[in-house]
Amino acid sequence: MDIETYYDKIYRYIYYRVHDRSIAEDLTQEAFLRFLGSSGNEPERYLYTIAKNLCIDEYRRIKPVSLDSEEVPDLPDNSADSLVKSLEVRQALEKLSEEDRELLILRYANDEPIKEISRLTGISRFAVYRRLKEAKSRLTKALGKETI
């Protein structure tokens, strides 16, 4: 298995869930250490499962922090509008269910194809399409807009 192939995807997945670079780096390393100590036959699916469980453990360990005090990721355009939009999207994502966030992160942050998301989550392609459409609709509603 080529670790470089999966490292960025797993890091990005974890970062979008914990919103902290140093924690995301630590959890990503932990995910790979656990993976290398096992005998998984589907590396990507197993890595995502480990990463998801590590994020859940992290949520249980820490207390919620308001978005005002969180580190804001570097944005290509550091304008106030971009910063506000980033925070609005993050707050809207927090209002969604765990499943909705996971699907949206896999599809739009990690750019995973529908077929791969289906394989990773164990649900049919058609269910992935439907759930993504519903999750996007809920995200749009949480943002208070007509379309994303």
Tens of pLDDT, residue by residue over 62-72, are 655 444 444 54
How many whole angstroms separate alpha carbon 85 and alpha carbon 67? 13
Q: In this structure, what token pair is assigned to residue 18?
A: 């914990």
First to last CA, the chain: 37
Tens of pLDDT, residue by residue over 104-127, are 988 988 888 999 999 888 899 999
CATH of span 79-148: 1.10.10.10
Helix count (H) and strand count (E) of the chain?
Answer: 7, 0
Looking at residue 96, its amino acid is L
How many whole angstroms separate alpha carbon 104 and alpha carbon 100? 6
Looking at residue 146, its amino acid is E
Mean pLDDT for the stretch of residues 45-52: 90
Q: Model pTM? A: 0.64
